[in-house]
Amino acid sequence: MGNANSYYSQADQQIIDNLRQPDGSRRKGEDELFSVYAYFIQEGVRKYKITEEDAFDAYSDSVLAAIEKIANGSFEGRSSLKTWLFQIFQNKCVDLLRKKTTNKNSIHNTVSVGDMLFQLSDGAKSIVQQLVDKADINLLRQRIEALGEKCRELLLLSADGFSDKEIAARQQYKSADVVKTSRLRCLDKLRQLYKQA
């Protein structure tokens, strides 16, 4: 079914159509939407002077919000998909900056979780394994225990080599993208626990 809206490119329309499907097409649409505009992350780092990790968080939240609005039919299509998603992303970045200014907690580790995440998606060692390589295994166990059950299970499954899609199916997450975002947040919690040590 075509759309008369001139704002959409054919690729946008395909993503939108896929996201409105209940089957495997929806997952394909989610993956496409996530990857097509992933360069927004670097834009966020440059424009808002935030860490890659924070930009990734803002981008992931934006994509998840967009997927929800498209899937439930509340995306009105008054602009291109790219423009609309970038507006959501900018708002998330601004919210993040406000929160950081309020909390005065903008100091981060020098390790970029975003870099580690991209290594993970390329089949490189998991971040948990990297922490094991660099740290005392007992300390790592204590920190992982302190994360809570959901984060602990997610990180351990990831460390065992399960893909985001496999974890999504196993742990009943909505999609692989939700797993990716959840894992990033869990890793951030783990890093915060290490900083407190």
Helices 113-121 & 52-71 angle (0-180, nearest 10):
60
In the chain, the domains with their CATH numbers are: 10-103 (1.10.1740), 113-196 (no CATH)
Extract the tokens encoding 129: 């394994």
Task: For residue 131, give Cα distances in angstroms to 82, 125, 183, 191, 194.
Answer: 36, 10, 15, 10, 10
CB-side neighbour CA atoms (13 Å) of 178 = 15
Distances (CA, A) of 2 to 10, 61, 71, 125, 196: 9, 28, 16, 43, 54
Q: How confident is the model at residue 89, as a pLDDT?
A: 93
Q: pLDDT tens digits, the chain, 197 residues: what are they? A: 444 445 668 888 899 998 888 777 788 888 888 888 888 988 998 998 888 888 888 888 888 888 888 888 888 888 889 999 999 999 999 988 887 776 544 344 444 444 444 444 333 344 445 554 554 566 677 777 788 888 888 888 877 778 888 888 888 888 888 888 888 888 778 777 766 65
Whole-number pLDDT of residue 194: 67
Q: Return the structure tokens found at 169.
A: 């199916």
pLDDT given for residue 85 in this prediction = 92
CB 173 within 8 A of CB 179: yes
Looking at residue 176, its pLDDT comes to 84
| DSSP per position, 77-143 | -SS-HHHHHHHHHHHHHHHHHHHHHHHT-----SS-HHHHHHHHHTT---HHHHHHHHS-HHHHHHH
Q: Identify the pLDDT of residue 121.
A: 38
181 near 60, Cβ under 8 Å? yes
- Tell me the C-alpha distance between 132 and 12, whole Å: 42
Query: What is residue 87's predicted lDDT score, i.e. its pLDDT?
Result: 92
pLDDT of residue 145: 79
Neighbours of 84 (CB within 10 A): 20
